[in-house]
Structure 1
Amino acid sequence: MEREITAEVDLCRPDGGLNPAAVGWTRQPLHRANLRGWGRCKRWEYWGIVTPNHIVGIVVSSLDYAGVHGIYVLDRETGEETVRDAVVPLARGTVMAERSGVGVTSARGGGVQIELREDETGSAIEASARGVRVSVRVPRPAGHESLGVVVPWSDRRFQYTVKDVGRPASGTLTLGSQVYPIEDAFAVLDHGRGKWPYSMTWNWAAGWRPGLGIQFGGKWTEGTGSTENAIIVDGRVQKIGDELRWEYDTANWLAPWSITGERVEVEFQPFHERVATSNLIVVAGETHQCFGHFAGRVRADAGWLDLSGVVGWAEEARNRW
């Protein structure tokens, strides 16, 4: 049984090791990521925004060796991608907030400017680069819950993640001279802070339709006693403590994916594959993020729920960092 944490807690002890009291999961961000020192420390904010016409990804990250930031836009009708990435040595010009939902995270460098500002009412996202600008407001609805989890590989290697699925989003997307309204949209936040092993592979899936969201992870949590699996029903998190089985074809990423467990019988059908690779010698990675539609069912506390109409993504990421 995973422990639910209901009071504020520091992620680390004064010596920089994992605070045992921080291990568990939350419905609201309660952890202060008081990471210390340099080396193996990874900090990031990723926002994924799904509109009827576009999918937008915004990332700010500090990986010790480098800041890796980016703006991604997919035109869902044409399949055209707009990608603006920046790698900044030693993450110069990068500011990472210590707590999720509080303060300002920002990055400036390599032609990319991003500011993520948090207050008690929600999140403001401002991002720009050559030929692209994103300006989005993401309110935090009353009673809305997010899934926070601490994953402990050891007392020196651990990760704190917040996955916040299905918040409303509105604003504008500018591509060249064309301005597109962002409306009837939802946003997903991946907030990460931790000290990682050098090499790691993970799966992540997130999706939403009004009233129902899914948040699934795999591989990276195995053997830790923690999972990042949950469903979100009418804004409330229902935690799934089981590891899930992921099946997909790495020779054909657009083939259907299967994600299953005692409470999960899900098929994911991609309509677009995004490939992101990096090779900075010490830091290297390859991510296949597929956008698509979910089908099947999940078992909520009140019974099985059909996933028809849930849209989002599933991915595999392999990193040396």
Structure 2
Amino acid sequence: MQTLMSPGPLLDDRGHLVETGWAPSEIRKYRRSAITAPKFRIKEWDYYCVLTADYGIALTVADNGYMGLLGVSWLDFRTPHEITENVMLPFPMGRLGLPESADDGDVVVSKGKARFEFRHVDGGRHLIVDYPAFDGGRGLHADLFLAGPVDDRMVIATPFPKASRSFYYNQKINCLPAAGTVRIGSDDFTFRSEDSFGVLDWGRGVWTYDNTWYWGSASGLVNGERFGFNIGYGFGDTRAASENIVFVGGRAHKLDRIDFDIPQGTYDGAPWNFSSNDGRFGMTFEPIIDRAATFDVGVLRSIQHQVFGKFSGTVILDDGTSVVVRDLLGFAEEVRNRW
């Protein structure tokens, strides 16, 4: 059953979700002060990924209670190769001051000479990153503007079984036209709004310790119109609503369940396949780059495979229209976390 949420606060006075389900806008209001779980269990992050046909960048600011993260991934689809570097922040416990809304408040975090700024400006979002140590000291400077059209988005609130104070509140905003530059060393890379698109993954919540999730996303142009989708599962109990959704021209078309069929033994070799139980989504995914990462320190462990590549297939919209997709750039991932 897909439950459409109504307006109001996200949590009640016990720190439990007032309502579970999905919405096409930020309809429930998150307040960190309403959480009754320990601070070290709270997870908050802003993740942006901006892709062009030839290259892309992913930026992360995360406050995961006992560990924070400033992350940059540079992706070159021509070579292909990727460079990922992170700055770890011990025990931030909310001190990063991440906003309580995806539509208001700025992210400004510095650690040493690394500085990340995600700011709201007229007409969109301004992303500025200075990372002098990136790529062996070549340095990275990113200055990107993501236009903010008034589009539908994916918003989901889900509980975790047998953990009444745990929850996942997440927004995915796809198909954001992006313009600007990224400089690495003396090399400049240009992003143009006519063929560069970003996605925001905005997450807030209290997670249980051991989880595996699957997520996929793509944004671009199909038949000359902005087109994108968000797919995934493993984010708590999703019986009230999945986070599977397609966007065409800014309008959401909600889907039910989607399965990820990942070839065993490889992430960047054989094609992946995706299919929905309602027959409305069928995609093949051709991997290009596996951004693999493993972090294992004591009780903290993360095994990540975020694979970038091209989607091809068919989507059926709410009105029955069939949209054929060919070589749409995006990513799909499997992540196993004990955090």
- What TM-score results when the alignment is normalised by the length of structure 1? 0.93
Which of the residues 171, 178, 183 maps onto 2:180? 171
Task: Report the AA paired with residue 292 of structure 1.
Answer: G
What is the SS of the residue equivalent to 1:86? Answer: strand
**1:23-61 deviation per Cα after TM superposition (whole angstroms, max 9, x unaligned):** 221212233221335131100010000023211000000
Q: Does 1:30 align with 2:30?
A: no
Q: Does 1:314 align with 2:332?
A: yes
Extract unaligned runs of 5+ from structure 1: none
Would you say the 8 A contact 1:163–1:191 is kept in 2?
yes
> What is the CA distance between 1:18 and its match in structure 2?
2.0
Q: Does 1:265 align with 2:282?
A: yes
Residues 171-250 of structure 1 aligned to structure 2 (within 5 Å): 171-183=180-192, 184-210=195-221, 211-221=226-236, 224-240=239-255, 242-250=256-264
Which of the residues 124, 131, 136 maps onto 2:144? 136
**1:157-211 deviation per Cα after TM superposition (whole angstroms, max 9, x unaligned):** 1100101111100111000011221112000110000010101000111112223
What is the SS of the residue equivalent to 2:40? Answer: coil
Q: Does 1:13 align with 2:12?
A: yes
What is the SS of the residue equivalent to 2:106? Answer: strand
Would you say the 8 A contact 2:108–2:118 is kept in 1?
yes
CA distance in 2, matches of 1:121, 1:195: 32
For the aligned residue pairs, the C-alpha RMSD in angstroms reads 1.8
**1:234-260 deviation per Cα after TM superposition (whole angstroms, max 9, x unaligned):** 1111111x2211111241112211111
Moved segments of 4+, more than 4 Å:
none
Q: Does 1:251 align with 2:265?
A: yes
Residues 61-80 of structure 1 aligned to structure 2 (within 5 Å): 61-80=62-81
CA distance in 2, matches of 1:212, 1:182: 18
Q: Does 1:95 align with 2:97?
A: yes
Would you say the 8 A contact 1:51–1:182 is kept in 2?
yes
Q: Alpha carbons of 1:223 and 1:50: their partners in 2 closer, same or farther (altered >3 Å)? A: closer
CA distance in 1, matches of 2:6, 2:148: 19
Task: Report the AA paired with residue 163 of structure 1.
Answer: K
Extract unaligned runs of 5+ from structure 2: 133-138
Task: Report the AA paired with residue 208 of structure 1.
Answer: S
| 1:108 aligned residue | 110
Q: Alpha carbons of 1:66 and 1:32: their partners in 2 closer, same or farther (altered >3 Å)? A: same
Q: Alpha carbons of 1:247 and 1:222: their partners in 2 closer, same or farther (altered >3 Å)? A: farther
CA distance in 1, matches of 2:196, 2:51: 6
| 1:41 aligned residue | 42
Which of the residues 279, 299, 304 maps onto 2:296? 279
Which of the residues 309, 312, 322 maps onto 1:292? 309
Q: Alpha carbons of 1:68 and 1:195: their partners in 2 closer, same or farther (altered >3 Å)? A: same
What is the SS of the residue equivalent to 2:16? Answer: coil
Task: Report the AA paired with residue 208 of structure 2.
Answer: P
Would you say the 8 A contact 2:48–2:59 is kept in 1?
yes
What is the SS of the residue equivalent to 1:39? Answer: helix
CA distance in 2, matches of 1:45, 1:14: 26
CA distance in 2, matches of 1:61, 1:203: 19
Q: Alpha carbons of 1:24 and 1:160: their partners in 2 closer, same or farther (altered >3 Å)? A: same
Would you say the 8 A contact 1:164–1:190 is kept in 2?
yes
Larger mean CA deviation between 214-223 and 166-175 belongs to: 214-223
> What is the CA distance between 1:230 and its match in structure 2?
0.3
CA distance in 1, matches of 2:29, 2:237: 24
Task: Report the AA paired with residue 258 of structure 1.
Answer: N
CA distance in 1, matches of 2:258, 2:48: 24
> What is the CA distance between 1:221 and its match in structure 2?
4.4
> What is the CA distance between 1:115 and its match in structure 2?
1.1
> What is the CA distance between 1:116 and its match in structure 2?
0.8
Task: Report the AA paired with residue 328 of structure 2.
Answer: V
What is the SS of the residue equivalent to 1:308? Answer: strand
